[in-house]
C-alpha cells in the first residue's frame, strides 16, 4: 500500500493512478478513498493523475486519538500534496471532503491548485444558527452521534438508504451499494467517526470560501437529504467569485445511477476546460 507519515506521526493511505495533471479527491464521512474509485479510474483513463487518500481515522489510514478536526484534515491534505510534489492540482471534495478542500485553501492558499470541485459539499455551514436559518438543527447531529455510539453498524446501514436516495418512491435500490457503503463505514474508527460529526456540521467555512481564487465547480443534487442544497451549494456559489453552480434535479447525496454519469461528464468537461 502507498502511505506517507504526517508531521504528527499519523500514517495516511493514498491511491495514485495514472499520469498527467493531478486530480486530488477527498471523500465524505464515514467513507474512504474507495468511494472515488469510479471517478479516479475515469480521470486516469483520460490523461490525468488521480490521487485519493483515506482521511485520518478512516479506511486504511492510521486511527490516532488526536487530530480529528478540520484544520488537521486540511493539513494532512497539504502534506500529501507536498509529499507527492503535486502542482496545478484540481481538488475535488465530496461532502465532508468538500469542507476539507475548502479549509485547505483557507489555510494553505492556491499556489499548488488550479481548479476546485465541490460536490454535495458541507460549506459554508451545515448547522442551523441565527445567521444560517436554512441549516440543519443541532439535534439532528446529536442523533448521528448517538447512532454512532450505540449501534454504529445498524446506523450506517440505515444511513445508506437516504444517502443514495433509495428511500424515495420509485428509486432503483441497489443492495450491493448499501452493503458497500456499510463496509466502508465500518472501517472508520469509533473515535474518528464521532469526532468528525462536529467537524462537518459545526465548522464555518465562510472565510475559507472567500480565499478560493481559482475556477470552481459547485455541484449538488436538489434532493440531497444529507447536505440540503439551500444552506450549502446555493450559498457557496455566491461566496466563491469564480464559481459555476450545477444542480442535478432529483439527485441524492451519494453518486448513483444517472446522477453519477452526469457528474462524471461534468467533471471531465471541467477538467478539460
Let me know: does 100 contact 33? Beta carbons within 8 Å. Answer: no
Is residue 94 part of the annotated active site? The answer reads no
Catalytic status, residue 53: no
Report yes or no: 227 and 119 within 8 Å, Cβ to Cβ: no
Nearest by Cα to 127 from 27, 69, 73, 206: 206
3-state secondary structure at position 57: coil
Q: What is the edge-to-edge ordering of all strands in the sheet holding 48-53?
A: 2-5, 11-17, 48-53, 21-26, 89-94, 113-119, 216-221, 243-248
Measured CA to CA, the distance from residue 19 to residue 221 in angstroms comes to: 30
Alpha carbon distance 36, 41 (integer Å): 9
Question: Is 69 a residue of the active site?
Answer: no
- Residue closest to 22 by CA, chosen among 98, 100, 82, 72: 82
Burial class of residue 130 in the structure, from the number of CB atoms within 10 Å of its CB (0-12 exposed, 13-18 middle, 19+ buried): exposed
Whole-angstrom distance, CA of residue 270 vs CA of residue 268: 5
- Residue of 26, 61, 95, 185 with catalytic role: 95
- Which residue in the list 54, 75, 208, 224 is annotated as catalytic? 224
Question: What residues act catalytically?
Answer: 95, 224, 253
Amino acid at each position: 500500500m502507498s502511505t506517507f507519515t504526517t508531521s504528527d506521526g499519523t500514517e495516511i493511505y493514498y491511491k495514485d493512478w495514472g499520469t498527467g495533471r493531478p486530480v486530488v479527491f477527498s471523500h465524505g464521512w464515514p467513507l474512504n478513498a474507495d468511494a472515488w474509485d469510479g471517478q479516479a479510474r475515469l480521470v486516469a483513463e483520460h490523461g490525468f493523475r488521480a490521487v485519493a487518500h483515506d482521511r485520518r481515522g478512516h479506511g486504511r489510514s492510521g486511527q490516532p486519538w488526536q487530530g480529528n478536526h478540520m484544520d488537521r484534515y486540511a493539513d494532512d491534505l497539504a502534506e500529501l500534496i507536498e509529499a507527492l510534489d503535486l502542482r496545478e492540482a484540481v481538488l475535488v471534495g465530496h461532502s465532508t471532503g468538500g469542507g476539507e478542500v475548502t479549509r485547505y485553501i483557507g489555510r494553505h492558499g492556491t499556489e499548488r491548485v488550479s481548479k476546485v470541485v465541490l460536490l454535495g459539499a458541507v460549506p459554508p455551514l451545515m448547522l442551523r444558527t441565527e445567521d444560517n436559518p436554512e441549516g440543519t438543527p443541532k439535534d439532528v447531529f446529536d442523533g448521528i452521534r448517538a447512532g454512532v455510539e450505540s449501534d454504529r453498524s445498524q446506523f450506517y446501514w440505515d444511513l445508506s438508504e437516504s444517502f443514495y436516495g433509495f428511500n424515495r418512491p420509485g428509486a432503483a435500490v441497489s443492495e450491493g451499494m448499501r452493503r458497500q457503503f456499510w463496509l466502508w463505514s465500518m472501517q472508520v474508527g469509533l473515535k474518528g467517526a464521532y469526532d468528525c460529526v462536529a467537524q462537518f456540521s459545526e465548522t464555518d467555512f465562510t472565510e475559507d470560501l472567500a480565499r478560493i481564487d481559482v475556477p470552481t465547480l459547485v455541484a449538488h443534487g436538489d434532493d440531497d437529504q444529507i447536505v440540503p442544497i439551500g444552506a450549502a451549494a446555493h450559498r457557496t456559489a455566491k461566496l466563491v467569485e469564480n464559481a459555476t453552480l450545477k444542480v442535478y434535479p432529483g439527485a441524492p447525496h451519494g453518486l448513483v445511477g444517472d446522477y453519477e454519469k452526469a457528474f462524471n461528464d461534468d467533471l471531465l468537461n471541467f477538467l478539460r476546460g
